[in-house]
Amino acid sequence: MWFYILKRVAQALPLLLAVVVVNFVLIQLAPGDPVTLLVGDFPAPEEYVKQVRAEYGLDRPVAERLVLYLGQLARGNLGYSFANRMSVAELIGKRIGPTLQLMFTALVIAIVIGVTLGVVAARGRGKLADWIAQIGALVGYSVPDFWLGQVLIILFAVTLALLPSQGMRSARSVATGLDAFLETLPYLILPATALSVRFIALFSRITRSAMLEVLNADFVLAARAKGLSEGRVLLAHVLRNASLPIVTVIGYNLGLLIAGSALIETVFSWPGVGRLMFDSITKRDYPVMTGILLFVSLTVVIANLLTDLAYAALDPRVRYTR
């Protein structure tokens, strides 16, 4: 196992380096003065512009510039946002909490509903329930999630006036700790629902096909023959063995989840990284954009690595075959 972990980590490192290089190349290739991309399209003080030129060696050859860029990143310097008067790393750090909260809630909703739907569809294969679940999955996979958010706002916040639709708590709120969390819950319902729909569709499809693959396996027949109740057969034997592809799909789709939350946060003014991305685009605050791209790519690479490791931990065969 240790050898496998080391091997996978070693494979992930070039990927990380490649991500950084792509970011660097983008900054170099973009039209206009690269210093604008490092400072942002924002009236920055002349000394700071000079400092950035020196720090990143913008008057030196490309190879030297790449080394300087890597050096800045290694020191944790993702740049500085003049539009926000704050370092990009600090800015992302402040916004990551709400994003994680939104993503985690949506993921839990999607796993519970998606896996349940998948199990129901696989059990009643070819029947009405299966047909409805499959059409539902197809629709859920085709509807743009940010538009679904807008429709939820129109229905539940405007027409029915049941739930709040903007931000994560009242502007006047002074609550902290648990109180703040409880106050956030009603604000969380609509965006988390909108974000989860695509993943409900994805998980129900994967669960259905994974279930179908093991539903007729010999060990399931044996469990049934042993006289186990249908519920126990499904939970302990079928779903357990079908869980591998489900875990993989969750892990590999983290990038999709982040993209979805960027759009959803914009619709619901949720103060997370996605909203920050939107604001940085409207303000042409380039360092924040590249900083977020780097941060998100890093997260995705690490999530994929963890998924592979989880897969190897759950299924020992993987460690030896690859």
Partner 1 sequence: MANLRTGIAFSLIALCVVAAVFAPFLAPFDPFRGGADALLPPGSKSFILGSDHLGRDVLSELIFGARVSLAVGISAALSASVLGLVVGSLAGFFGGWVDGVLMRTSEFFQTLPRFVLALVIVAFFGSGIFKLIIVLAVLSWPPIARLVRAQILSLREATFVEAARLSGMGSLRIIAREILPNALAPVIVTGSLDIASAILLEASLSFFGLGDANLISWGGMLNVAQPYLRQAWWMAVFPGIAISLVVLSFNVLGDALNDALNPRLQETA
User: What is the C-alpha to C-alpha distance for residues 303 and 191, in angstroms, rounded to an integer?
Assistant: 23
Instruction: Pick out residues in 36-95 that bind partner 1 (CB under 8 A).
Output: 37
| Minimum CB–partner distance for residue 218 and partner 1 (Å) | 18
Q: How far apart are CA 79 and CA 90, in angstroms?
A: 10
Q: What is the DSSP letter of 61?
A: -
Minimum CB separation of residue 257 from partner 1 in Å reads 10
Cβ nearer to partner 1, comparing 16 with 228: 16
In 126-179, beta strands by DSSP E? none
Give yes or no for residue 138 binding partner 1 (CB under 8 A). Answer: yes
Q: Cβ atoms within 10 A of the Cβ of 161, count?
A: 8
- Sorted by sequence, the CB contacts under 8 Å of residue 154 that are 6+ apart come out as none
Decide whether 45 or 93 has the Cβ nearer to partner 1: 93
Write the CA distances from 5 to 2, 9, 305, integer angstroms: 5, 6, 9
The closest alpha carbon to 187, from 276, 110, 265, 262, belongs to 265
Which residues face 80 on adjacent strands? 87
Stretch that binds partner 1, among 12-20, 84-92, 96-104, 229-237 (CB under 8 A): 12-20
| Token pair of 299 as six digits | 């997260």
293 binds partner 1 (CB under 8 A): yes
**Options 4, 42, 141, 156; binder of partner 1; rule CB under 8 A:** 141
The reply to whether 209 sits near partner 1 by the rule CB under 8 A is yes
| Residue among 246, 286, 308, 312 that touches partner 1 (CB under 8 A) | 286
Binding status of residue 25 toward partner 1 by CB under 8 A: no
Asked if 147 is part of the footprint of partner 1 (rule: CB under 8 A), the reply reads yes
Region at 30 (left for phi over 0; alpha for psi -120 to 50; beta for the rest): beta
**Would you tell me which residues interact with partner 1 (CB under 8 A)?**
14-15, 18-19, 22, 26-27, 29-31, 37, 131, 138-139, 141-144, 146-148, 150-151, 153-154, 158, 209, 212-213, 255-256, 258-259, 262-263, 266-267, 277-278, 281-282, 284, 286, 289-290, 292-293, 296-297, 300-301, 304
